Amino acid sequence: MKRDFINVLNDWKDNHILTPLMVIGARQVGKTYIINKFCQENFNDYIYINLMENKRIGEIFKKNDSLDNIVQEFKLELKRDVNTDTIIFIDEIQESEELIAALKYFCEAEFPYKIIVAGSLLGVKLKRFHKSFPVGKVIIEYMYPLNFKEFLWAINKEKYIDLIEDCFKNDKAMPEYFHEELLKDYLTFLCTGGMPQIVSAYLEDKDGFLFKTNTFAKSIIDAYLSDMNKYTNNMYESIKIERIYKNIPNQLAKENKKYQVSKVNKNARYRDYESAMDWLVASKLVIPCYYVNKFETPLKAFMDEDNFKLYLSDVGLLNELMGMPYNNILLDNDFMFKGAIVENYVATELIKNNLDIYYYYVPQKLEIDFLIDTNTGIIPIEVKAGENVKSSSLNKFMVENNCKLGIRISKKNFGLENKIKSIPLYAVFCLNKNNM
């Protein structure tokens, strides 16, 4: 399955190969597949190690603090040598804090070691790291589920991507026939989401994918819930984490989507759940969108860490978690939760393009779904699930803050009017810091 992340790996190979690369992200987003493919295609000598399957490798790093000793035992365990052409890929790196700490030795070594490590939930380990983390001695990259562009690759509709990007850049309407076809593909993507296993199930049986998607999505969520027990300090914390995760659909269903811990436990205060919330954010299983009290750059300087919306990392998993019948989505029916699903989809597409997301609201007056920092300034974004784009919030906000550009994401075609750029829901992947 073609992934944009291959560009990150190629950049590391061409420019930073002597600094260990650490790829982190939630479970089953495709890390092992794409790194394995990259190593096989670019190196003559390839060593793959899975720390879940080979516990002895982790033990080597536990008892040694000398790189010479580590490498000697490492070679003996693998029964092979490491030469200048060797690439080493260590998977499930979260199983060994000692190995993570030892990455600095490989970075500083005279011998040109080429090492990639990857892990799920590694962000959690970094939050509670007891060893000396190799700051500055490792390159960290995040990997996410497929975005809609990658979904088009998967369903053999790559021919549309250049056309979408051209219409986006020049604010010209997509031919209506193509526009309608892409909107149907977008609705399918709302059902499947971007988890590679689910997209593969859809490709194998497009007529029966509605049933298979439920099965695979449930198994992924079950795996996440299992990790919540495995990688937490105690049973009570894992219970809190699971409650927060399962409660996200209820939070998004509210008219005011600000996260309220009282919806998880009516007697709870935020500080009671703060550690559990940190765990979920660090693991990349949820996406926080923080409130900002000022329309100033950088937005991060004006965010309120106690005031946020919370989205699920994948829209397909969101549908499974809420038990949403897929026919409602595929037939584009109107239903109460439709806006929340679409907003969650937009949040995931923005995050996959490395955009930090924020929001702004004034109670009973206006709400801006997302604010993003770009190289040309801050841009407010309004999300609409349908073609009805009537809303006073975006217009009012732009006038009050003298905005140079606003974005409205909806089913409507591309266009630019009154400084508001119209972007169809299938083209959110075009948004990044450099092209606005």
Provide the token pair at 189.
């993507």
pLDDT tens readout for residues 55-113: 899 889 887 668 888 888 888 888 888 999 999 999 999 999 889 988 998 999 999 99
Report the distance separating Cα 3 and Cα 380, nearest Å: 29
Q: Count the Cβ atoms, other than its own, within 10 Å of residue 40.
A: 12
Q: Count the Cβ atoms, other than its own, within 10 Å of residue 377.
A: 13
Q: How confident is the model at residue 336, as a pLDDT?
A: 85
Q: Which contiguous run of DSSP H or E holds residue 396?
A: helix 392-401
pLDDT tens readout for residues 98-151: 899 889 989 999 999 999 999 987 777 776 677 778 888 999 999 999 999 999
Side-chain half-sphere of 250: how many Cα atoms within 13 Å?
11
Domains of the chain: 6-142 (3.40.50.300), 148-430 (no CATH)
Report the distance separating Cα 299 and Cα 290, nearest Å: 10
Pairing of strands 303-312, 286-292: antiparallel
Report the distance separating Cα 311 and Cα 295, nearest Å: 22
Which of 165, 102, 94 lies closest to 131 in space, CA to CA?
102
Q: How confident is the model at residue 64, as a pLDDT?
A: 67
| 10-residue stretch averages of pLDDT, the chain, 436 residues long | 96 96 94 97 96 91 80 87 94 92 91 94 71 87 97 97 98 98 97 96 88 85 91 86 94 89 86 90 94 93 94 96 90 89 98 96 89 93 87 89 94 95 98 81
Residue 427: C-alpha distances to residues 43, 242, 352, 408 (Å): 35, 33, 13, 11
Outline where 79-208 has alpha helix (H): 97-108, 122-127, 148-154, 159-170, 176-192, 196-204
Outline where 26-91 has alpha helix (H): 31-42, 55-63, 67-78
Which of 13, 9, 18, 33 lies closest to 103 in space, CA to CA?
18
At what angle are helices 176-192 and 159-170 packed, to 10 degrees? 110
Task: State the residue for tokens 């399957």.
Answer: 53
The answer to whether residues 202 and 192 touch, using CB atoms and an 8 Å cutoff, is yes
Peptide bond into 175 cis (omega under 30): no
22 Cβ contact list (under 8 Å, min separation 6): 93, 100, 103, 116, 117, 118, 119, 122, 138, 139, 140, 141
pLDDT tens readout for residues 235-258: 888 999 999 999 999 999 888 889
Which of 261, 249, 255 lies closest to 315 in space, CA to CA?
249
Exposed e or buried b per residue across 129-158, where buried means at least 16 C-beta atoms within 10 angstroms of its C-beta: eeeebbeeebbebbbbbbbbbbbbbbeeee
| 205 class by beta-carbon count within 10 Å (0-12 exposed, 13-18 middle, 19+ buried) | exposed
Q: Count the Cβ atoms, other than its own, within 10 Å of residue 95.
A: 18
- For residues 273, 279, 280, 281, the Cα torsion angle rounded to the nearest 10 degrees is 100
Q: Which contiguous run of DSSP H or E holds residue 237?
A: helix 235-253
